[in-house]
Amino acid sequence: MSDAVERPMPAESRGEAPGRDRLKGRRILVVGGGQDARGLEDAPVGNGRAMSILFAREGAKVAVADWNYVSAEDTVAMISGPGAIALEANVAIPSDIDVMVRDTVEKVGGIDGLVYNVGIGVGDPWLAGAKMDQWDRVFAVNVRGAMLTLKAALPVMADGGSIVLISSIASMKPGSRLPAYDASKAALAGLMRHAGIEGERRGIRVNIVAPGLMDTSIGRAATAGRPGRAKTPVPLGRQGTGWETAYAALFLLSDEAAYITGQVLAVDGGMTGLR
């Protein structure tokens, strides 16, 4: 960690800042908008739930999709704004993706923005621990699911829309020790660039947010399995919050990023740029 004195987090990092209508009138689909609390009684907010809540706070109608429908409903119950709906969709099942996109268009009136916030890391560490069935499962969710979501959503997305894929700094530097996870997250960059080319004529932008060490329930579970993770030096001196991932995605969805496409934004406290 940095030797700098720990500073209090701003309201945005705590999820307490008021909305400023940055997505007013937009219709946003968040894939993976529920939350896996990993059995924690007081789990910190996850990336998907934070994004769903924040986008609605900023004036968007939000479709919250998750394989766990109850969790998606729980997210919707926390939302205040122009409206939100819960959808059940398992991105490992191709037909679920088509239904998810169709239902979003029918129930919220269209799609102006899309966030793909789904990713799993399974299996034993290192190449020696990699198993073919686990490798295929990871790629089915992390990459194929993203590709099929973009395939279904691009034709019905409004001109000038924005797509954000949630990756990880594991796509940029080694660290997770799970080769399928690292490789699948890196593959999203290629998918992003291709989708960006397909969307450019209609002004549809495609970018990636790559979180680093985040203090979420999944992050805490990862630390429990690998305690050394908590000692990883972060230049800004702490792990990030789900809200900080959400604000990066909000920026890329908003008109503030109207001239940004095909880019990877690391939200990692300086880990990739300074270490």
Q: What is the pLDDT of residues 108-133, one digit of tens each?
A: 999 999 999 999 988 889 999 999 99
Q: Does the structure show a pLDDT above 60 at 60?
A: yes
Average pLDDT, the chain: 93
Q: Residues 116, 181, 247, 259: which is the catalytic one?
A: 181
The string of pLDDT tens digits covering residues 184-243 is 999 999 999 999 999 999 999 999 999 999 988 777 877 776 777 777 889 999 999 999
pLDDT value, residue 77? 97
Arithmetic mean of pLDDT, 52-74: 97
Q: Does the structure show a pLDDT above 90 at 80?
A: no
pLDDT value, residue 5? 52
pLDDT value, residue 124? 87
The string of pLDDT tens digits covering residues 135-152 is 999 999 999 999 999 999
Residues 267, 244: contact at Cβ < 8 Å? yes
Q: Does the structure show a pLDDT above 90 at 81?
A: no
Single pTM value for the model = 0.94
Q: Does the structure show a pLDDT above 50 at 1?
A: no
The string of pLDDT tens digits covering residues 30-42 is 999 999 877 777 8
Task: Assess whether 181 carries a catalytic annotation.
Answer: yes
pLDDT value, residue 69? 98
Domains and CATH numbers, the chain: 11-274 (3.40.50.720)
